[in-house]
Amino acid sequence: MQRYSGFGLVKHALSHHEHWERQWRNPTPKKQYDVIIVGGGGHGLATAYYLAKEHGITNVAVVEKGWLGGGNTARNTTIVRSNYLWDEAAALYEHSMKLWEGLSQDINYNVMFSQRGVLNLGHTLQDMRDIQRRVNANRLNGIDSEVLDADGVQKIVPILDCSKRARYPVMGASWQPRAGVARHDAVAWGYARAADALGVDLLQNTEVTGFKIRDGQVYGVHTNRGDIEAKTIGCVTAGNSGVLAKMAGFRLPLESHPLQALVSEPLKPILDTVVMSNHVHGYISQSDKGDLVIGAGIDGYNGYGQRGSFPTVEHTLQAIVEMFPIFSRVRMNRQWGGIVDTCPDACPILSKTPVKGLFFNCGWGTGGFKATPGSGHVFAASLAKGEMHPIAAPFSIDRFHSGALVDEHGAAGVAH
């Protein structure tokens, strides 16, 4: 792999940037691998990378029906934070946050991780009580978190309407300074390039059409490019996880919903942090390109259509204008949707399944991007050892029968 550096940039400038090597190969599928990862998004590619790097398992294929990072990795609002309420979830997302902090160096790819802080606003007394509870829980788990009053919020975001005449006045917020944003595509490309350099085969335009299962043990997949065999298979397919589970003969407690986001025309720098509000229901940040990146809730109905509904756009923008009257005349540039697999307790599923050798990593719902490195890291360890990593263990599918849910719904400052 050609290492990226400032020096390399200067060197290639001399030849008009015409001789950069391709970031990854385009191999033909082998008949057999040690591990197959189904799904070439951020989580799947991270899993492949950590399998190769940390566990020395390099005979790995990532099978992707479209192109790398073309699903929810390309469609999210790039927010990274770890201020989750419950110990289990906090451990998982904070594990991820620590990996984010060294990620660009680790994979030699600038993922533009910018720790510009995240505010979760409170607009009611109950919001503020929940925020205090969550911040205290975060601090006990070693996660940086503060409670701010309205004046404190106003200092960080001068353009936010913190006045008393707002319909839902801002009473305060939780503030995580280490949180921020990252460049979503670069995360997928960086992991892909690093995994490829370690020998992982990235198979694009290869769609899994079924599983090969004998005596309750998986031993391969059927694809549109022929059968590929492996005794260990990890499915990391977000919105389509339910479809794959059905192919393997079991059900998941997931429902797939469209979640949309939109960006405005590019503006001069005006917002240097991330503002989320659960109560008026919207979140916003400004990308390095200058566009405001805006998101909000899912459409309430099931859907695989990768597009959102107009009423949701309207509600989202109402919330943004409520918080930022200054943006009322900003024009929106693009709008799109991704398919999120939501779990009843708003926590992911990292789990063995009724089929031996088949593992699922899904159910990240509306908040999977922030967990990309951590999810890949613990899932790779689980695939390598055949037993779930201690951080992943509480997220087993069994919790929906035992009742040991990790109920982050409404608790995590999540704008669902």
Residues that bind other proteins (CB under 8 A): 240, 242-243, 251-256, 300-305, 309-311, 344, 400-403
Backbone angles phi, psi at 173, to 5 degrees: -165, 165
Tell the smallest beta-carbon distance from residue 47 to other proteins (Å): 23
**Residue whose CB is less far from other proteins, 216 or 354:** 354
Tell the smallest beta-carbon distance from residue 394 to other proteins (Å): 16
**Residue whose CB is less far from other proteins, 155 or 251:** 251
Tell the smallest beta-carbon distance from residue 403 to other proteins (Å): 7
Tell the smallest beta-carbon distance from residue 310 to other proteins (Å): 5
Tell the smallest beta-carbon distance from residue 405 to other proteins (Å): 9
79/114 Cα distance (integer angstroms): 10
Map residue 88 onto helix, strand or coil.
helix
Tell the smallest beta-carbon distance from residue 184 to other proteins (Å): 24
**Residue whose CB is less far from other proteins, 191 or 211:** 211
**Residue whose CB is less far from other proteins, 130 or 255:** 255
**Residue whose CB is less far from other proteins, 267 or 405:** 405
**Residue whose CB is less far from other proteins, 269 or 311:** 311
